[in-house]
């Protein structure tokens, strides 16, 4: 059974999907680049620690275990460093757009969304999800074992390799259908680390009621995979009492994945009113304006639209 939060999110995702093309297409491109890098490094022999028969590789040449492990650690540090740098500019953008684990969650959601359109669409979504999880697991395993184990390995080596693959694949599949973004919210060590080391990235989600006002429908909050209220992102939550020189925290800035789901939900709400500018968009948090500000324009007349409970 999925938690209520995930069910409500799927309900809004389904409404967004009916709106037409979404960020998901761009996300698929970004994810495939991530996956290609993960696959390229071990397949090209740039780094591989071969726990099957000890044929370790570093820069395409045979290497001893210590050097190959060193190559593995440095590769991980470089990949981590790249995501860390991107975090300084666009916050947890990698979590929202480039992380294969987060994408697996989305594939599980896709099954629920497409499932509403018929059995065949549901089956295709299941196959796409299963294929992606299999490729991701294979990419991870290729760092640790030469794929020739499946042809040249002993029966025992083949069984062990296939069993590890099956267990990891099953774990990925369960993640897609049981845990989804609960993992990102509470377990993922990289995401949790980012939350504490970065905030106030210059690019984030901006909420502005100028020129058109928010109708308080709640769709953006409902769809947010990490339980934020996108209307208040970046607002100061007050300077720390014990250190007046410290930068004040901004609400949600470090947690936000920059996934853009809230923006798409907001656009969907105003779909029937193309002349209305939806209040949520990507931008610089300092450009944030609210209806309370002195320079805020008089809100335009907007008829109440359907609340999220009616969006199904
Ligand atoms: S606030 Fe918007 S962009 Fe940030 S995580 Fe939530 S839905 Fe994604
Ligand atoms: S989805 Fe848009 S209109 Fe609805 S509450 Fe969020 S910001 Fe306001």
Ligand 2, residue 218: give the atom nearest the CA: 5
Which atom of ligand 2 is closest in space to residue 262's alpha carbon?
Answer: 1
**More confident call, 48 vs 201:** 48
Q: Is the CB of 201 within 6 Å of ligand 1?
A: no
- How large a percentage of the chain has pLDDT more than 70? 85
pLDDT band of 207, cuts 50, 70, 90: very high
Q: pLDDT tens-digit profile of 23-55?
A: 988 999 999 999 999 999 999 999 999 999 999
Number of domains in the chain: 2
List the residue whose alpha carbon is closest to atom 2 of ligand 2. 266
For residue 141, the enclosing domain spans 4-195
DSSP conformation class of 250 = B
Q: Are 167 and 62 in contact (CB under 8 A)?
A: no
Same domain, 237 and 104: no
Ligand nearest, relative to CA of residue 277: 2
What is the average pLDDT across 242-254?
A: 70
Same domain, 10 and 142: yes
176 plus 238 within the same structural domain: no
224 CB under 6 A from ligand 1? yes
The pLDDT, as a whole number, for residue 261 is 95
Half-sphere exposure of 100 (CA within 13 A, CB side): 22
Measure 225 CA to ligand 1 centroid, in angstroms: 7
Q: Residues 67-73: what's their mean pLDDT?
A: 96
Instruction: List residues near ligand 2 (CB under 6 A).
Output: 214-220, 231, 265-266, 269, 278-280
- Kindly give the pairing relationship between strand 57-58 and strand 61-62: antiparallel
Look up the pTM and report it: 0.83
Q: Are residues 213 and 157 in the same domain?
A: no
Helix (H) or strand (E) holding 228: none
Q: Which atom of ligand 2 is nearest to the CA of 221?
A: 6
Atom of ligand 1 nearest to the CA of 220: 7
Q: How far apart are CA 177 and CA 179, in angstroms?
A: 6
Between residues 277 and 287, the one the model is more confident about: 277
Phi first, then psi: give them for residue 183, nearest 5 degrees: -65, -45
Only one residue has tokens 């938690």, namely: 3
Residues 86 and 188 in one domain: yes
CB 228 near ligand 1, within 6 Å: yes
* Higher per-residue pLDDT: 288 or 156: 156
Give the mean model confidence (pLDDT) for residues 151-180.
93
Based on the fold, state whether residues 91 and 185 are members of the same structural domain: yes
| Averaged pLDDT score across all residues of the chain | 84
With the most atoms of ligand 1 within 8 angstroms of its CB, the residue from 9, 185, 225, 279 to mutate is: 225
Q: Is 230 in the pocket of ligand 1 (CB under 6 A)?
A: yes
> Helix (H, G, I), strand (E, B), or coil: what is residue 16?
helix
Residue 270 alpha carbon, nearest atom of ligand 2: 3
- Give the C-alpha separation, 116 to 38, whole Å: 33
How much is the CA Rg of the chain, to the nearest whole Å? Answer: 23
Between CA 262 and CA 265 the distance in angstroms is 5
214 and 86 part of one domain: no
Ligand 1 centre distance from Cα of residue 261 (Å):
6
- Based on the domain organization, do 211 and 190 belong to the same domain? no
Are residue 64 and residue 178 in the same domain, yes or no? Answer: yes
Among 34-38, 150-154, 180-184, 288-292, the range scoring the smallest mean pLDDT is: 288-292
Residue with tokens 């062990």: 160
Tokens of 9: 């999110």
What pLDDT was estimated at residue 308? Answer: 36
Q: What pLDDT was estimated at residue 225?
A: 93
Where is the domain boundary, 174, 195, 216?
Answer: 195
Greatest mean pLDDT range, 47-51, 84-88, 239-243? 47-51
The CA-based diameter of the chain, rounded to the nearest angstrom, is: 75
Q: Is residue 133 domain-shared with residue 233, that is, in the same domain?
A: no
**Atom from ligand 1 closest to the CA of residue 260:** 3
Mutational test site, ligand 2, from 206, 216, 228, 271, max ligand atoms within 8 Å of CB: 216
Answer yes or no: is pLDDT of 95 > 50.
Answer: yes
């Amino acid at each position: 059974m999925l938690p209520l939060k995930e069910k409500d999110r799927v309900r809004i995702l389904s409404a967004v999907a009916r709106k037409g093309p979404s960020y998901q297409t761009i996300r698929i491109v970004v994810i495939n680049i991530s996956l290609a890098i993960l696959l390229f490094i071990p397949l090209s022999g740039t780094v591989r620690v071969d726990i099957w028969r000890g044929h370790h590789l570093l820069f395409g040449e045979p290497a001893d275990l210590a050097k190959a492990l060193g190559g593995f650690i440095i590769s991980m540090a470089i990949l981590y460093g790249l995501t860390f740098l991107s975090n300084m500019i666009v916050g947890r953008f990698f979590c929202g757009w480039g992380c294969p684990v987060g994408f697996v969650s989305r594939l599980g959601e896709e099954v629920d969304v497409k499932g509403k359109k018929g059995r065949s669409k549901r089956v295709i979504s299941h196959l796409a999800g299963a294929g992606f999880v299999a490729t991701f697991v294979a990419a991870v395993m290729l760092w640790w074992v030469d794929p020739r184990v499946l042809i040249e390995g002993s029966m025992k080596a083949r069984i062990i390799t296939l069993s590890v693959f099956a267990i990891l694949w099953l774990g990925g599949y369960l993640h897609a259908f049981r845990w989804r973004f609960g993992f990102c919210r509470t377990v993922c060590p990289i995401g949790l680390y980012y939350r504490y080391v970065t905030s106030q990235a210059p690019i984030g989600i901006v909420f502005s009621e100028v020129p058109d006002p928010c109708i308080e429908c709640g769709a953006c909050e409902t769809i947010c995979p990490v339980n934020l209220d996108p209307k208040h992102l970046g607002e100061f939550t007050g300077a720390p009492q014990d250190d007046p020189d410290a930068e004040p925290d901004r609400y949600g800035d470090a947690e936000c994945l920059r996934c853009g789901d809230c923006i798409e939900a907001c656009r969907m709400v105003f779909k029937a009113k193309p002349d209305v500018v939806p209040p949520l968009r990507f931008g610089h948090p300092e450009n944030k304006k609210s209806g309370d500000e002195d320079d805020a324009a008089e809100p335009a007349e907007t008829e109440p639209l359907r609340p999220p409970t009616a969006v199904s």
